[in-house]
Amino acid sequence: MEAVKISSKYQVVIPKTVRQQFNLKPGQRIAFIPYNETLRVVILPPIDETKGMLRGLDSDDFREEEDEARR
């Protein structure tokens, strides 16, 4: 585990060992996801790698209509 400090501009530096372990590059996107009492960092794949990712997904169980009716 590597600990870092949040700067006065709310920025953090990803430690070199972590950048190397996950092959992170400048411009790559990550997401911060609050989960229970923690904060998860998720590496987002480039958009061209997501093509076909949801192929075959059954959309019959989506709840959009139910959610809209609650508003």
Domains of the chain: 1-48 (2.10.260.10)
pLDDT value at position 63?
67
Give yes or no for residue 61 having a pLDDT over 70: no
CA distances from 31 to 39, 41, 43 (A): 10, 6, 7
How far, in Å, CA of 5 to CA of 37, rounded? Answer: 19
pLDDT value at position 56?
74
Phi, psi of 23 (to 5 degrees): 55, 45
Give yes or no for residue 66 having a pLDDT over 80: no
Residue-wise pLDDT for 5-58, tens only, equals 999 999 999 999 999 999 999 999 999 999 999 999 999 987 766 666 667 777
